[in-house]
């Protein structure tokens, strides 16, 4: 396997990062997870745009143009001869010292990993996922803007531990006001009273690329769609619930906190959007 590291393709066992890199020491950096389907990089431009927005938000100057970054992604995919892959693109503040001062990090670190990923077993897409509500609250949006896809994922990991300890794969995270924000690695949608609903980003949700794709698909299909504040009672009483994410794609949820959602099976809206999303992955992207 070849890894892109600071302008060069190196073997996996030689892709070394300094222990003084602020991405490692402080989670000081940004990243993107990107998917490819049959040599088509799904929504590459949107992912790259979000990466640079995240970097701008933390005053991290990426030393590559967006075009050069996209070319680096393509170069790495070709080097590993991957047609269907998961891409992890990371930019850290770079090597500094043991202090917090970002001025001590003159050159950002950039690396790109292209590999395979299967976030959930195939049976979960067919039968649905069981999840729980995390006891860990979502970071306060005014403290750490959820629109920044940063390397600081400890909040999500603590919530993921809540899921693991409950014997499930995923957990819903609530904000400090107990409104539904998102899951540990996915956005959440519900279908209730004939409407497709997802929480607004202001409550602590990431502006997911797959989330956005589903919203666009829903509007094209003339599905009534709204961004609304949701409490867990809204989710429990929903007819359908599903999660979206780059790695997860669209996955149905059939039980939350041991409560059955709808009839306990993947619903018609979820299945239709899944079908339309799969069609979209064949046309919406950059060929390499």
Q: In this predicted structure, what is the pLDDT of residue 52? A: 98
Statement to judge: residues 6 and 71 lie in one domain: yes
Same domain, 71 and 45: yes
Contact (CB, 8 A) for 95 and 134:
no
Least confident of 116-120, 128-132, 217-221: 116-120
Q: Which of 98, 115, 132 is at the close of a domain?
A: 115
pTM: 0.95
State which of 115, 148, 176 marks the end of a domain.
115
Closest CA to 95 of 12, 2, 16: 16
Domain that holds residue 80: 2-115
At residue 118, the pLDDT reads 80
- pLDDT at position 233, please? 98
Q: Shortest CA distance to 230 belongs to which of 251, 249, 204?
A: 204
Where a domain ends, among 68, 90, 115? 115
- 72 and 142 part of one domain: no
Residues 93 and 127 in one domain: no
Confidence at residue 117, expressed as pLDDT on a 0 to 100 scale: 81
Could you tell me if 10 and 109 lie in one domain?
yes
* Torsion, CA 178, CA 180, CA 182, CA 184, rounded to 10: 40
Which helix H or strand E contains 160, and what residues bound it? helix 154-165
CB 160 within 8 A of CB 184: yes
The total number of structural domains that make up the chain: 2
According to DSSP, the β-strands at 225-227 and 195-198 are parallel
Residues annotated as catalytic are: 149
Whether residue 106 sits in one domain with residue 35: yes
**Residue 7: is its pLDDT beyond 90?**
yes
Q: What is the mean pLDDT of residues 275-285?
A: 96
What local confidence, expressed as pLDDT, does residue 82 receive? 94
Q: What is the pLDDT of residues 150-187, one digit of tens each?
A: 999 999 999 999 999 999 999 999 999 999 999 999 99
């Amino acid at each position: 396997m070849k890894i892109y590291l600071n302008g060069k393709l190196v073997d996996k066992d030689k892709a070394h990062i300094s222990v003084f890199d602020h991405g490692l020491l402080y989670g000081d950096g940004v990243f993107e997870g990107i998917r490819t389907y049959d040599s088509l990089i799904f929504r590459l431009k949107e992912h790259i745009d979000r990466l640079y927005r995240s970097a701008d938000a933390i005053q991290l100057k990426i030393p590559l143009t967006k075009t050069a970054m996209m070319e680096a992604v393509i170069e790495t995919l070709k080097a590993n001869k991957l047609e269907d892959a998961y891409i992890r693109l990371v930019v850290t503040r770079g090597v500094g010292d043991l202090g917090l001062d970002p001025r001590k990090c003159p050159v950002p670190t950039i690396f790109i990993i292209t590999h395979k990923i299967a976030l959930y077993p195939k049976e979960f897409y067919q039968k649905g996922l069981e999840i729980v509500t995390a006891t860990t609250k979502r970071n306060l949006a005014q403290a750490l803007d959820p629109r920044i896809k940063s390397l600081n994922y400890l909040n999500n990991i603590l919530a993921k531990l809540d899921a693991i300890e409950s014997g499930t794969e995923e957990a819903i995270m609530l904000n400090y006001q107990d409104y539904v924000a998102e899951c540990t690695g996915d956005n959440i949608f519900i279908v209730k009273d004939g409407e497709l609903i997802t929480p607004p980003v202001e409550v602590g949700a990431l502006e997911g690329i797959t989330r956005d794709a589903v919203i666009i698909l829903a509007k094209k299909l003339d599905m009534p769609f709204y961004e609304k504040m949701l409490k867990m009672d809204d989710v429990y009483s929903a007819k359908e619930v599903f999660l979206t994410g780059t790695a997860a794609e669209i996955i149905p949820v059939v039980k939350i906190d041991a409560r059955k959602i709808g009839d306990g099976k993947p619903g018609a809206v979820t299945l239709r959007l899944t079908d339309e999303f799969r069609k979209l992955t064949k046309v919406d992207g950059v060929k390499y």
